[in-house]
Every structure is written in C-alpha cells, then in structure tokens.
Amino acid sequence: MFFHIVMERNMQLHPRHFGRNLRENIVSKLMKDVEGTCSGRHGFVVAITGIENIGKGLIRDGTGFVTFPVKYQCVVFRPFKGEILEAVVTMVNKMGFFAEAGPVQIFVSNHLIPDDMEFQSGDMPNYTTSDGSVKIQKDSEVRLKIIGTRVDATEIFCIGTIKDDFLGVINDPATA
C-alpha cells in the first residue's frame, strides 16, 4: 500500500554548500539520500513530494558542518499481510516463482499455486494449466495476495499466494 506521509531527517551539510542555493542543495541532497531507501518502519521511500520546512541549522564544533532538521512529504510503499498486489514475475522454477513489485521481492511457493497448474521445465520454465490456457512465466504479470512480510533495513521480503479466487495471471506477455 502507498502512503503519503511527513517524515523528518537531520541533514548534515558541508560549508561549501552555503550561500544563495542553500535550500536547493539541501533538497537535492535529501532526495539523493532518501529516495529508494527502505526503512523497516515505513517501508520503501518512492519519492519526495515536497518540503514542509527546514529548521534552524546547528553548527557542529570542530568540523564546520551544519545540521538542518528537514521535514518533508514523501510517498512510501509498504506491503501488508493480506494485501492484494500486482507484481511482475522474475524467475520461475520447480519450487515456485519469484515476483517483484517495485523493490519488493515476493516468493510464491508451488504449494500456493493452484493444483491444476503444472511446472514445465525448459529454456522458458513456466507453470501451465492442463488445457494450456493460463501460463505463468518470466515477465508475466500476476495478481497475488501477501501472506507474510519482512521489512529489513534495506530489503522487503514477502511470501505470496495465488491459490485463491481472482488471483493469478492478469497479463501474459506471450499472448499480448
């Protein structure tokens, strides 16, 4: 799920950035530092959408660096247990398949793939129904349900299932 939230961060800035462009420098450094990172609490920071305010800078003794407390708005992404997600399949093997939804790695074990789908090996391994109408392979888009999540400092792992109503392939690149 995506959230639009306000977060706060102390930015340390080298004195060379001081001057007319101080504000721009802080913002660009903030974007570089924060976007694309992952925090266990909030999930994955997708983008900074705005700056609420930049507080008074505090000069560090000895170094000349200045610390600014910055409040900013950002869009974060965090998967939840029970959530339905759409993801792109990255790898298919006999254990199941791996999919990605942005930075999130999802594993769907073959226990949680409908029983009528069989694994087919070959140079393009896939799971296919007996009549061949539905096929999951690399780059397929699937709708799945998250049944377990783990958000680390840098990564998000999820366990998913497609063994439920209305889950499974939503767009097959082979037929598209």
Partner 1 sequence: MSLVTDSPVNSSSSDDFAALLDSALDSASSDSSPVEEAKDDDDVEIESIKRHKVENMGSTEEPDGSTSQVSVTEVLEEESTKQNTCTHPGSFGDMCIICGQRLEQESGVTFGYIHKGLRLNNDEIVRLRSKDMKNLLRHKKLHLVLDLDHTLLNSTQLVHMTPEEEYLKSQTDSLQDVSNGSLFMLENMHMMTKLRPFVRTFLKEASEMYEMHIYTMGDRAYALAMANILDPKREYFGERVISRDDGTQKHQKGLDVVLGQESAVLILDDTENAWTKHKENLILMERYHFFRSSCHQFGFNCKSLSELKSDESETEGALATVLKVLKQIHNNFFDNTSDNLMGRDVRQVLKTLRQEILKDCKIVFSRVFPTKFQAENHQLWKMAEQLGATCSTELDPSVTHVVATDAGTEKSRWAAKEKKFLVHPRWIEATNYLWQKLPEENFSVSVVKNQ
> What per-residue string of b and e applies to 30-57 under the rule 16 or more CB within 10 Å gives b?
beeebeeebbeebbbbbebeeeeebeeb
In terms of CB distance, is 15 or 148 closer to partner 1? 148
# binding residues, partner 1 (CB under 8 A): 41
Cβ 45 to partner 1 shortest distance, Å: 11
Q: Contact, 72 vs 30, CB < 8 A?
A: yes
Q: Contact, 9 vs 53, CB < 8 A?
A: no
Give the angle subtended at the CA of 17 by the CAs of 14 and 19, to the nearest 5°.
135
65 binds partner 1 (CB under 8 A): no
User: 79, 75, 61, 60: which is closest to 12 by C-alpha?
Assistant: 60
- Give me the count of residues in the chain: 176
**Residue listed under structure tokens 């998250």:** 146
Site string for partner 1, 10-39 (x = CB under 8 A): ------------------------------
Among 91, 128, 134, 141, binds partner 1 (CB under 8 A): 91
Q: Rounded CA gap, 54 and 111, in Å?
A: 51
In terms of CB distance, is 24 or 155 closer to partner 1? 155
Site string for partner 1, 118-157 (x = CB under 8 A): -xxx-x-x--------------------xxxxx-x--x-x
User: In angstroms, what is the C-alpha Rg of the chain?
Assistant: 22
Among 6, 47, 58, 170, binds partner 1 (CB under 8 A): 6
Residues that bind partner 1 (CB under 8 A): 2-8, 41-42, 52, 71, 73, 78, 80-82, 91, 93-96, 98, 105, 107, 109, 111-112, 119-121, 123, 125, 146-150, 152, 155, 157, 159
